[in-house]
Amino acid sequence: MLSVSGHKIFLEKEADLFMEASKLDGCYVLKTDLSSQMATKEVVHERYKDLALMEWAFRSSKTVQLEMRPIHVRLATRTCGHAFEVMMAYRIIKELASCWQDLNVTVEEGIKELTTFCAVELCGEKVAASCHQIPQPRESIQRLLSATGVRLPRVLPSRGVIVTTKKKLQKRRKIK
C-alpha cells in the first residue's frame, strides 16, 4: 500500500498479497489465437520452446557451424530465401547431431574434421580426362561418414570449377 505524508512516501507491502503474487515468480503467460480444440496448452508450450531452438539455429548457422551470412537482405524474396537457407542449415545441423550422437562428437567438431579431407586431382598424359580421385579417408573421417550413411565414390570427374574457400575469398577481398 502506498501512502503520502507531507514530504514522505510510505510503501507498505501487504504480506498476504505479496505471498500470493510470489507464487507466480518464474512463471510466464503464453497467449494464442488458437482455440483449445486446435492446440492444447501443452502443444502451445512445446511450440514456444521450439522458438528457442529456432533462434539457436539462426545463431549457430550464421556463426559457428556453417557460417552462412547474407550480404544484403532487403527484398521480401531475398528474406524468404535467406530464411529457407537457414532452416535447411538447421535441418542439416540437427540431422548431423542425431547421426553423430553416439560418436561423442559435436557438429562443429565433426565439420571441422571433415574439412581436412581432400581429393587428389589426376591429370596428364596417362589419364584420358582430368578427374579427382577420392583417397581412403582416415578412420575418424570414415566413422563420421559411416554414421551419416554417406558412401564416397572412388573418382569424380573434373569440371574445371574453381572452389572459393573462406580463406581464398578473404585474400581476394584484400587485393581489391
The model's pLDDT over 43-81, given as tens digits with 9 standing for 90+, comes to 898 888 888 777 777 776 666 555 555 556 678 888 788
Which sequence spans correspond to the domains of the chain? 116-157
What gap in Å lies between CA 100 and CA 109, rounded to an integer?
10
Rg (Cα) of the chain, in Å, rounded?
A: 28
Greater pLDDT, 62 or 143: 143
48: how many CB neighbours lie within 10 A of its CB?
Answer: 12
| Residue 136 reports pLDDT greater than 70 | yes
The model's pLDDT over 86-129, given as tens digits with 9 standing for 90+, comes to 778 778 888 998 999 999 998 889 988 998 888 887 777 765 67
Q: What is the pairing mode between strands 131-133 and 2-5?
A: unpaired
What are the grid coordinates assigned to 155, written together?
573418382
What are the grid coordinates assigned to 105, written together?
562428437
DSSP sequence for 25-79? TT------SS-TTTS-HHHHHHHHHHHHHHHHHHHHHHTTSS----S---SHHHH
Categorize the per-residue pLDDT at 147 as very low, low, confident or very high, splitting at 50, 70 and 90: very high
What gap in Å lies between CA 18 and CA 24, rounded to an integer?
10
**pLDDT of the residue at 67:** 59
Residue type, 170: Q
The single-letter DSSP state of residue 8 is E
**pLDDT of the residue at 139:** 94
**pLDDT of the residue at 131:** 80
The model's pLDDT over 12-22, given as tens digits with 9 standing for 90+, comes to 878 888 888 88
Asked if 144 contacts 171 with a C-beta cutoff of 8 angstroms, the reply is no
**pLDDT of the residue at 117:** 87
What gap in Å lies between CA 68 and CA 81, rounded to an integer?
12
- pTM reported for the whole predicted model: 0.55
Q: Which residues, 6 or more positions from 1, have their beta carbon under 8 angstroms from its beta carbon?
A: 11, 12, 13, 14
